[in-house]
């Protein structure tokens, strides 16, 4: 243990603790900017400088480990002058059009300016000296260099958490900037649109490409029937942008709010998540039969899940030789989209050309997914607009709704019913658990051998998880699986995804089925979720997901009555020809860089 004094208060912390963390223990607030709990230390913004007695210069609290007898002061004249200058310097290279900026009132630089730099501007504006550009090439997000303060959080995120390193620091001196490979548009490099950089950017330099205005236009268009679906991860995080703590379940209120916003039908992505399980579970069993019984060399195992569009784009760029290992199932969003303008339109006697299909997603890559050219199985664009959880919160505020006093209400039918298996899609390991609950029962006629259907080995925040289930007591149809130990793996975050892919490539991954989510924590940690994010926040959201699951009447996808009706009235059976046309897709190889 190391003993030191901060602002004349004694504190004792383990060796290796930073001055910043030691101060936090004493509840002394030192302002930071480049520091982020999910990322390695940078120490470049210098906002957190503090005075250490005996030191020649000020020290960066986030980057300096404590030492015995250290005497730190966080608010001396020297520190205050330096901090004010540093914030002023950042403001001088930042386009401060706050009133027009999407991050207005949510910007960390703005907050610092409010604390340390109100009053006359000290320095000259140097924004005009820089040829800043705005990149709007990606359907998922906008990169506005004029707002960048070069904290490098995005670079560290893309490199440490997401492996891809689609953005980097380029040049030096006054030309230093955050850039893609040779400044190419973000739509033309290996960026997976996962949006993890967006959720960590302190300013408006990286924000999602919003569709709020277009959705309002559709809602106000009396001619249109606007359908909205909500992803599982949205209901446990939306509250954070509306005054709630992380991990509050606000499902009922969310549905009421959507109705009050003016959506004609408020439906649930969890429904199509159940549908995905039916299709994907069947696909898995079919693949296993082809491999284990027929000895088919063309069928590929392990099979990977395909509901995470960031993960899909990752495979298309980095591991295109494994495209046939991806499940051909579309994501729940896109399955819903295909059905909304076919099945739903037919059942509700609506003109599909007048249906506008909107989805609320915790994700930015879903905006990219909706724009994929092949996503037109209905004959129209299957999903017209994707809005993030953050955008929905904005719309709710714009409508003047006091979210907290809303009475909860139920989803509309015929695509609004779901089971617990659908909602757990939002958490890492959730798709796997949902799939096992159904597949195991199909094969053996019995429930999975886990207490209360909670398959705990696939849950939790470990980067890579593994589980084994022995299949015993198969029905006649599935005799070939008798005694087989089904090996599954789960990874979340693209760095972990890459690690699993390396094992697969080396032949060291003897799994049958692998679930991969591009975002740390799964969808609850998605690029469209409320900001800020941290391990603690993601863990709270996950607790809420499993709590939601436990409180549902039905917890297995195949028991969903609306799903049963869908097959009976429209699709026939899982993997039928019609199911293939509407609910399955293909992938493309993309540039390696």
Partner 1 sequence: MYQVGNLVKELTDKHGRARENLMPILQGIVEKHNYLTDEAMVEVAKELEISAAEVYGTASFYSFLDTKVRGKYVIRICKTITCSMKGKAEIIQTLEDMLKIKVGETTSDKMFSLLETNCIGWCHKAPAILINEIPYTELTPEKVVEIIKSYMQK
Partner 2 sequence: MENIKGLTKVDLIFEKISPKEVLTKAYSMKSEEIIQQILDSGLKGRGGAGFPTGLKWKYAAAGKDSEKYIVCNADEGEPGTFKDREILDRVSYKVYGGMAIASRAIGAKKGIVYLRGEYRFLLPQLMKELESFHNMIDEIGYDFRIRYCMGSGAYICGEESALFESIQGDRGEPRNKPPYPTTSGVFYKPTSINNVETLVTVVMIIKHGAEKYNLLGTKDSRGSKVFSISGDTPTPGIFELELGMTVQQFVNEFGDGDTKAVQVGGASGFCVPRKKFNETIIGFEGVPTGGSMKLFNSSRSMYNVLHNYLDFFAEESCGQCTPCRVGCQQLLKGVEKVKKGDVKSTYLNELVKLADTMKVASKCGLGQSVGNAFRTIVENFREEIIY
Q: Which does 45 bind (CB under 5 to 8 A by kind): partner 2, partner 1, none?
A: partner 2
**483: burial class by Cβ within 10 Å (0-12, 13-18, 19+)?**
exposed
Number of residues that bind partner 1 (CB under 8 A): 18
Q: What tokens were used for 236? A: 């446990």
Which one of residues 129, 221, 374, 402 is an interface residue with partner 2 (CB under 8 A)?
Answer: 129
Task: Decide: is 127 part of the binding site for partner 2 (CB under 8 A).
Answer: no
Contact positions with partner 2 (CB under 8 A) in 400-459: none
Q: What are phi and psi of 251, to 5 degrees?
A: -55, -55
Pair 334, 378: CB distance under 8 Å: no
CA distance 256 to 238: 13
Respond yes or no: is residue 107 known to be catalytic.
no
Respond yes or no: is residue 562 known to be catalytic.
no
Closer by beta carbon to partner 2, 172 or else 592: 172
Count of alpha carbons within 13 angstroms of residue 508, beta-carbon side: 6
**81: burial class by Cβ within 10 Å (0-12, 13-18, 19+)?**
exposed
Respond yes or no: is residue 280 known to be catalytic.
yes
Respond yes or no: is residue 366 known to be catalytic.
yes
Task: Decide: is 40 part of the binding site for partner 2 (CB under 8 A).
Answer: no
Respond yes or no: is residue 307 known to be catalytic.
yes
Q: Which does 189 bind (CB under 5 to 8 A by kind): partner 1, partner 2, none?
A: partner 1
Nearest one of 443, 427, 463 to 547, comparing CA atoms: 427
Letters for 133-172 (x = contact with partner 1 by CB under 8 A, - = none) are --------------------------x----xxxxxxxxx
The structure tokens 């020290």 sit at 59
Task: Decide: is 126 part of the binding site for partner 2 (CB under 8 A).
Answer: yes
Which region, judged by CB under 8 A, interacts with partner 1, from 50-58, 175-183, 345-353, 548-556?
175-183
115, 321, 374, 485: the active-site residue: 374
Which region, judged by CB under 8 A, interacts with partner 2, from 80-88, 99-107, 425-433, 509-517?
80-88
What is the smallest separation between the CB atom of 592 and partner 2, expressed in angstroms? 20
**Please, what sign has the CA dihedral across residues 371, 374, 379, 383?**
negative
Letters for 177-196 (x = contact with partner 1 by CB under 8 A, - = none) are --xxxx------xx------
Respond yes or no: is residue 62 known to be catalytic.
no
Respond yes or no: is residue 51 known to be catalytic.
no
H-only helix segments in 482-560: 494-506, 535-550
Which one of residues 78, 346, 502, 505 is an interface residue with partner 2 (CB under 8 A)?
Answer: 78
Respond yes or no: is residue 523 known to be catalytic.
yes
CA distance 589 to 315: 8
**420: burial class by Cβ within 10 Å (0-12, 13-18, 19+)?**
buried
Pair 146, 134: CB distance under 8 Å: yes
3-class state of residue 12 by DSSP: strand
Lateral strand order in the sheet of 206-208: 134-135, 141-144, 206-208
Q: Which does 101 bind (CB under 5 to 8 A by kind): partner 2, partner 1, none?
A: none
Closer by beta carbon to partner 1, 172 or else 349: 172
Pair 526, 192: CB distance under 8 Å: no
Closer by beta carbon to partner 1, 288 or else 500: 500
Which region, judged by CB under 8 A, interacts with partner 2, from 43-51, 350-358, 509-517, 546-554?
43-51
Residues near 173 by beta carbon (within 8 Å), at least 6 away in sequence: none
**49: burial class by Cβ within 10 Å (0-12, 13-18, 19+)?**
buried
Which region, judged by CB under 8 A, interacts with partner 2, from 145-153, 191-199, 405-413, 545-553?
145-153
146, 327, 357, 557: the active-site residue: 327
Q: Which does 165 bind (CB under 5 to 8 A by kind): partner 1, partner 2, none?
A: partner 1
CA distance 448 to 557: 13
Give the other-Cβ count within 10 Å of 337's Cβ.
31
95, 147, 366, 367: the active-site residue: 366
What is the smallest separation between the CB atom of 46 and partner 2, expressed in angstroms? 5
- Residue ranges in contact with partner 2 by CB under 8 A: 41-47, 49, 57-58, 60, 63-65, 78, 81-82, 85-86, 89-90, 92-93, 122-124, 126, 129, 149-150, 152, 169, 171-176
Residues in touch with partner 1 (CB under 8 A): 159, 164-172, 179-182, 189-190, 592-593
What amino acid positions are annotated as catalytic residues? Answer: 280, 283, 307, 327, 366, 369, 374, 523
């Amino acid at each position: 243990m190391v003993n030191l004094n901060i602002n004349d208060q004694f504190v004792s912390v383990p060796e290796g603790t930073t001055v910043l963390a030691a101060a936090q223990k004493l509840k002394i607030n030192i302002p930071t900017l480049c520091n982020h709990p999910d990322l390695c230390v940078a120490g470049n913004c210098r906002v957190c400088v503090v005075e250490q007695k005996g030191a020649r210069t000020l020290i960066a609290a986030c980057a300096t480990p404590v030492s015995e007898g250290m005497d730190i002061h966080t608010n001396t004249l020297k520190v205050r002058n330096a901090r004010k200058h540093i914030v002023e310097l950042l403001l001088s290279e930042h386009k401060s059009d706050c009133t027009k900026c999407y991050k207005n009132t949510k910007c960390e630089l703005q907050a610092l300016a409010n604390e340390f730099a109100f009053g006359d501007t000290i320095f000259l504006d140097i924004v005009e000296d820089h040829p800043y550009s705005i990149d709007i090439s990606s359907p998922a997000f906008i990169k506005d260099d004029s707002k960048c303060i070069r904290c490098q959080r995005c670079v560290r995120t893309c490199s440490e958490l997401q492996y891809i390193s689609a953005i980097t620091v380029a040049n030096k001196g006054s030309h230093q900037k955050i850039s893609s490979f040779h400044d190419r548009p973000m739509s033309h490099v290996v960026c997976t649109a996962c949006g993890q950089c967006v959720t960590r950017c302190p300013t408006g330099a990286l924000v999602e490409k919003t569709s709020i205005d277009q959705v309002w236009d559709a809602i106000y268009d009396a001619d249109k029937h606007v359908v909205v679906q909500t992803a599982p991860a949205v209901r446990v995080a939306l509250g954070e942008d509306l005054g709630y703590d992380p991990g509050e379940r606000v499902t009922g209120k969310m549905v009421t709010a959507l109705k009050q916003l003016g959506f004609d039908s408020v439906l649930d992505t969890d429904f199509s998540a159940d549908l995905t399980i039916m299709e994907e579970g069947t696909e898995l069993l079919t693949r296993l039969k082809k491999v284990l019984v027929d000895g088919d060399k063309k069928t590929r195992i392990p099979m990977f899940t395909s509901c995470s569009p960031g993960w899909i784009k990752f495979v298309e760029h980095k591991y295109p030789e494994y495209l046939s290992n991806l499940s051909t199932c579309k994501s729940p969003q896109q399955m819903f989209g295909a059905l909304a303008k076919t099945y739903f339109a037919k059942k509700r006697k609506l003109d599909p050309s007048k249906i506008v299909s909107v989805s609320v997603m915790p994700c930015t890559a879903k905006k990219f997914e909706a724009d994929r050219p092949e996503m037109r199985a209905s004959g129209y664009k299957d999903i017209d607009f994707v809005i993030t959880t953050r955008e929905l919160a904005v719309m709710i505020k714009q409508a003047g709704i006091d979210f907290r006093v809303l009475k909860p209400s139920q989803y509309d039918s015929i695509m609004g019913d779901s089971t617990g298996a659908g909602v757990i899609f939002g958490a890492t390991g959730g798709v796997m658990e949902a799939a096992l609950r159904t597949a195991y029962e199909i094969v053996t006629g019995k429930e999975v051998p886990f207490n209360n259907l909670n398959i705990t080995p696939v849950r939790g925040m470990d980067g890579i998880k593994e589980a084994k289930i022995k299949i015993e007591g198969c029905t006649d149809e599935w005799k070939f699986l008798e005694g087989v130990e089904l090996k599954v793996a789960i990874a979340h975050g693209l760095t972990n995804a890459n690690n699993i892919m390396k094992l697969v490539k080396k032949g060291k991954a003897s799994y049958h089925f692998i679930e991969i989510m591009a975002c740390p924590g799964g969808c609850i940690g998605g690029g469209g979720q409320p900001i800020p994010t941290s391990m603690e926040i993601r863990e709270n959201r996950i607790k809420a997901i499993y709590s939601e699951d436990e409180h549902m009447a039905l917890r297995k996808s195949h028991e969903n009555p609306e799903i049963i009706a869908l097959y009976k009235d429209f699709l026939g059976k899982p993997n039928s020809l019609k199911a293939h046309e509407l609910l399955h897709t293909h992938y493309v190889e993309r540039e390696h860089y």
